[in-house]
Amino acid sequence: MRLTDAEALSFDCYGTLIDWEAGIAAVLVPWARAHRLTLSAEELLERYAVAEARQEELTPRALYPDILDAAMRRLGATLGIDVSAEEGERLAGSVAAWPAFADSPRALARLATRYKLVILSNVDRTSFAASNARLGVRFDAIITAQDVGSYKPSPRNFDVLVDTVRALGVADGRLLHVAQSLFHDHVPARTLGLPTVWIDRRGERAGWGATPPPGIAVEPDFTFPSMAAFAAACFATDNLLDTSSD
């Protein structure tokens, strides 16, 4: 199978298309400094990742802004800090300000000329609408945690994805899932038998940033450092499924 054999591409949004680490750090770093914490941005992101994943597991039907608020309070508790309502709201309402990666809009526009594009995201509809405006592309289907009633890495989200793509008329085996997070996306997608594309946005940076470690070994079918590199490969002629690109 080649990348060009796919009929549809499903995308995680935050971490893959939208720079959620920059968005989250823009709130957490000033908060930490105001409370005289000496943790670096990377340390804050890694601690926050654990708090958010746990909150999503505990309250799978909560809207994403409420997850953000509760996760920040959980993070504060681990650091011995009471998070105020104003501080929690600052993170809860920040999604609309999270920037798109510079290459995302152009790459998506190019990919839309060949593939059906689907979003599978751990947010609510309102939050994604703000991000979609930054991406500037029309997706053929949008699936949020609000629609499913659970958060990735729940396999339920990927079952809904498969059913949605079938309803679009895409043949089985013609879907590629594209994501940055091994934990949220690649582990459950590969367990379901979906081929995956890893957009390794962190590259050679140490640690896992705003996503928890995957917990188990997982092998994406393709690896690219950016959406731009992925889009370029999709229009090449020698992109075999068992190869990766630097």
Q: Are 212 and 1 in contact (CB under 8 A)?
A: no
Are residues 11 and 178 in contact, defined by beta-carbon separation less than 8 angstroms? yes
Q: Which of 5, 12, 185, 200 is catalytic?
A: 12
Report DSSP state, residue 224.
E
Q: Decide if 12 is catalytic.
A: yes
User: Which residues touch 60 (CB under 8 Å, ≥6 apart)?
Assistant: 145, 149, 150, 151, 154
Beta-carbon contacts of 29 under 8 Å, excluding residues fewer than 6 positions away, are: 41, 44
* Strand bridging mode 222-224 / 196-199: parallel
From residue 246, how far is each of 125, 177, 200, 226 by CA, in Å? Answer: 34, 19, 10, 10
Check if the beta carbon of residue 180 is closer than 8 Å to that of residue 198.
yes
Closest listed residue to residue 7, CA positions, set 119, 237, 166, 155: 166
Residues marked active site are found at 12
